[in-house]
Copies of this chain bind each other. A is one copy, B any other.
């Protein structure tokens, strides 16, 4: 029956304008995340899928995006994205396809003194684009995390006779892996927490609260310090694995109604043998 209905999008457009990205956005979809410890975590992604449309084409076929995605139904993972992008390029006859998505994961976190176990939420990010030129297909991937942490102000500590203001801060990391390199979300989370005054915990007993309060006080960090520590750690730990990174730190300042912010975006020099 579909074949008998006219297909407007199959016609020719005469305005001469290529469209960079056309597709579906704000799609919620169930997702499995393979964790570093071998487990799988089931979560919910918010994703977008787009392709390039050449100037002669009227448009794309929106239903095929969802069909390509649904071919992975109930077993969709970040590793499926590569195949979905190939399918999209083929079924939509496009030289370029792009998927990006955000989703929470949860990891066990042990309170530093009491050993009390809790579950902590982290936001993750995955993006992949494929571009075909002649008979070559280029692929670009981005892996990222958004991790909340504690930061304590070095200036406030230095000038005050008692106490120091501190706050919940948001660290954002995005890295561009080389080739097929896998960068684990867990490693990026570790890098983020190491750059802060102290990590956050889901459960803290009084002994733990004493510990994290004093740890943050002993590790004061400006937003500037946080992004520099992130940069140093990423360049050291992911050397040879990534071509670029972006990091930012946003303090929900406890003394202001606005935020303090810093960001660094940098290509990684290849220091090969």
Contacts and interface: CB of A to CB of B under 8 A. Distances in A.
Contact of A48 (B106, B157, B228, B261): B261
**For the side of the interface on A, what is the size category?**
35 or more
Contact of A214 (B43, B44, B121, B163): B163
Given A30-B106, A104-B44, A206 B259 contact: no
Interface stretch (A6-14, A84-92, A130-138, A175-183): A6-14
Contact of A209 (B41, B223, B255): B255
Given A203-B66, A256-B200, A258-B27, A217 B116 contact: no
A188 interface: no
A13 B227 CA distance: 13
Given A28-B106, A165-B216, 16 more contacts: A1-B113, A6-B159, A22-B262, A23-B262, A25-B261, A27-B258, A28-B104, A48-B261, A63-B205, A66-B118, A70-B118, A70-B202, A165-B209, A165-B213, A201-B256, A202-B258
